[in-house]
Chain A
Amino acid sequence: KNEVEQSPQNLTAQEGEFITINCSYSVGISALHWLQQHPGGGIVSLFMLSSGKKKHGRLIATINIQEKHSSLHITASHPRDSAVYICAKETSGSRLTFGEGTQLTVNP
């Protein structure tokens, strides 16, 4: 079992749809990160969470520490949201352990 598991692996949506990506992790963390990776490799940090909920524009991230679960939501999805979304847990030394990513495709 991976330390960080994401679902779904692939997600296709129509423009405007509400999107949810889920992340579960197996052991305690100091923080949970959501990242976005576009073709070509660049990774951008979206959120860092240790509790509760954060919102940035159309993106919302939540975490439930007791259940070891986090979700990333995208409201009013747009084709430019198409990317790989990666969940990563932060443990000692601030090293990250990554999930395998969710490939999101938003069609116009």
Chain B
Amino acid sequence: DTGVSQNPRHKITKRGQNVTFRCDPISEHNRLYWYRQTLGQGPEFLTYFQNEAQLEKSRLLSDRFSAERPKGSFSTLEIQRTEQGDSAMYLCASSLRPGRISGNTIYFGEGSWLTVV
């Protein structure tokens, strides 16, 4: 297994266009997270899934943002009618649901950079 995979790695789009990012988590991981990071800042939580269920969404996730994980494996993050303020790196991470004994190491993808012009 090659870890968490994200694509595309870079996307430049015109304002108003829709974009979609894909995340393939580590295969046995049942939790999948989306974060957003702007330059000079730490990542901010957007949403997370346990299997196919979206369990939590941040207030940062406006109506223009939607995330899915239809079969509990890969996930997509779609941004509709992009705005310049959406320019950021979108990070995906995955982990196993923490057990009573096991830890919960979180594995991150390399990120998808979005530039809205």
Interface residues of A (CB under 8 A from B): 4, 31, 33, 35, 40-45, 48, 86, 88, 90, 93-101
Contact = CB atoms under 8 A, between A and B. Distances in A.
B91 A43 contact: yes
Contacts, number: 64
Interface of B: 31, 33, 35, 37, 40-45, 48, 50, 55-56, 89, 91, 93, 95, 97-98, 103-111, 113
A15 B103 CA distance: 33
A98 B58 CA distance: 14
B37 to A, nearest CB: 8
A78 B91 CA distance: 28
24 contacts: A41-B37, A41-B91, A41-B113, A43-B91, A43-B93, A44-B108, A45-B108, A48-B103, A48-B104, A88-B42, A93-B55, A93-B56, A94-B31, A94-B97, A94-B98, A95-B45, A95-B48, A95-B56, A96-B33, A96-B43, A97-B45, A99-B42, A100-B40, A101-B41
Chain B interface mostly:
strand
A98 to B, nearest CB: 3
